[in-house]
Structure 1
Amino acid sequence: MSIPNLRAAITLAPHRFLLSAWPWRALAYVLAGTVGGVLIVGSVDLLVKYTPITEWPWYWEPLVLIVVLVAIPASTPLVARWGRLCEGLVGERPERSATARSTSGPWRDLGYTLLSLTMLCVLDLAVLGVALGAPLLGVLNFVDARHLNVFERWASVLGWAALWPVGLYLIAGWAVTRSEIARAVLSPREDRLVAELRDVTSSRAALATAFDEERRRIERDLHDGAQQRLVAVKTSLGLARLDLPADSPAANAVREAQEQVTRALSELRDLVRGIHPRVLTERGLQAALLDVAARAASEVEIDLDLPERLPGAVESTAYFVVCEAIANAGKHAPGATVRVRGGVRDGRLWVDVTDDGPGGATPDGGGLSGLRHRLAVLAGELTVDSPRGGPTIVRLEIPER
């Protein structure tokens, strides 16, 4: 089983954790955190050692202050990037989007730099001193313990060595805490927003699938229930007419009732087709669009290169969007020829609906806005190219999976 981060690794059984690479990754992470602070302290120590403050010219103090004030912001991108790289030792690196880089990102980086070079660095050194000091003291005691016999030396070493696991757990615990602090400063909102966006996207896709299944159920109920009963009524009325005189009032009433049932059947078939056409369920998107082309008022040419079947939600969404685009073309460009081309490329279904009408369609019009909303449920996109004089091209793209 893959362990995603140090927090999860600490919960493993002690022998599994201590024998894994995670304790050493935690140690490397904490050591990496001390780099900036050690460099600053070392630089100041060398400066003071070789040039005592009492011997500084009067202008050195403001000069050093200016250098510090300039150096900290200048080093901020480097320190923050180093911090993000180090986060990969204990888990996933926190990344920033282009929006974060241009808004609150620089201030977060500056805050992390100040925190890392001061408090976090001091705590890193303190934890390392406590966790590694005792075992190292045992090793030194073994090397320089002439007053002890061999048994006492080894007993001392084993006693101090027993503290190694405790030290490794201490370092790992601090590494987890430090990582949480760093992530909270570097990118708290973005991580949360990304997680929420994933939840919303998955929930929206689940709703789309549920709605599509409900449409299929309603279509089946209407087709197998009400529609079949109306067919039976029409047949019964036809048989009843055979037993009546052709010119009798009763025969005329039965004929009128039969015509009303025929109209009701036609309307019900249109309703069922609008909810979810049976041909789409049974034969797929290409066959369903060929059926639409055969019934359309305008001339519609279909040229699709599709796999045998696509996911149901993808087929359903593409079908209704293309139908709406064909209907819009017939309404705004009567008599125009509509061409429907499409296929699957790089894991995305694409379909172009082109008409040779006068063009000038508004990309943000009400009908097109509704199509965009329908596609957005499946993370799809809709683009419209409609220059004055035509042609109008409506393109939809939907992830295949």
Structure 2
Amino acid sequence: MKIEYDTLAALIYQPEDIAKTELKPEWFFEQRNKEIAEALLHENKNMIEPNVLYESIRNHNPSTLVDPKTLEDMKIDGYGIEVEENAIALKKRYYKERFDNASRKYASYPSGENFELMKDALRELEELEKPDDDGKLNGTIDRLLEELETEIEPGILSYPKIDDIFGGGMFGGMLITIGARPGVGKTAYAINVAMEAMNRQPDLAVDFFTLEMSKIQMIKRFISRMCEINSMKFRNPKLTLKDDEKAKVTASGFQLLGSELRVHDSMFHIREIERQIRRRHYEVKGKPYIAFVDYLGLVEASDTRQPRHIQVGEITRTLKILTNELNIPIVLLSQLNRAVENRQDKKPNLSDLRESGSVEQDSNVVMFLHEDGEDEGKTIVSVAKNREGFTGDIEYRFLKSKMYFEEVAY
């Protein structure tokens, strides 16, 4: 393995770098290289000559396959090799292998213990990507001064009016809760937000966790929205769809296949959802990413014996922590309690959120969908809480048969 050989060759050539380089024998997969690394780290910079190094290796393992000529060649080959970059690459490779092994183990036997091992391995892997922070303000002040002259890069864009209220899109660190009573269209609205975002950012990666519908039901809704075909026709598409509509559906299906959309209909536990979000975020590193969870009331917490408000607290805190750790937005759908139906104007408020304490506290943004009592077919999205921007109402025309939300122009 070239990276292992190069790292060791550089240290044999210049042993004084051993004390300055973070290195562990377990980062080496090839047995001979592991033995050389163990001897180097054991003797530190005292071992300059390959023949001395060879004797140390033989003392630890008399049957070693390492030979003096290999060590002599390595000393010659070590000239000009950058040790630190190779050592960092070895470390990343090691933790990536640990995560892959832990994932396979969990997939074979999904116990709580195996899940924690996998989560720990992923966190270690993500930690390697974080820059060191010594608390100094130099870089932060430089960034602030740069922002005075440079326009801030937008977040994930969707509907123009939502983007304006959010101050430029959906940014990392945002937990966005969308609440509504059953039948108002919160799932359809989430699909529309996802589609608008995918249309505006073609490389956008999306995880959509559907806990109420099957994957095929969700895909039918996506395609109904894309093609503007009545969703009722998908109940028996062979008989109800015309040839031109079937052609549109086929084209839309292939478009979704080529996209970064993933729909999950069998993940109900918050730890499963957390694991998938972490894994997908790692897999699509470098691309914008957003997750949708539909919906809060069906997500299972770690201990279902706890009162539901305690469970909800665990769920919302887990999602909020993920938004900060991974610097991603997450959209969480939630049902509202019945109190809103007894109100004359039917307009929801924050107290209508079920188990509202933690949902309201952990969410950066809380939005409510409700029908306009005076104009049938018009749906209002009320932004009731927004830590980073404005609040207010946005009007939509909801074509329910086609799962399509259209912003109403002012």
Which of the pair is proportionally richer in strand?
A: 2
| Alignment TM class, shorter chain as reference | under 0.3
Larger Cα Rg: Structure 1 or Structure 2?
1
User: Normalized against structure 2, the TM-score is what?
Assistant: 0.22
Which of the pair is proportionally richer in helix?
A: 1
User: Normalized against structure 1, the TM-score is what?
Assistant: 0.22
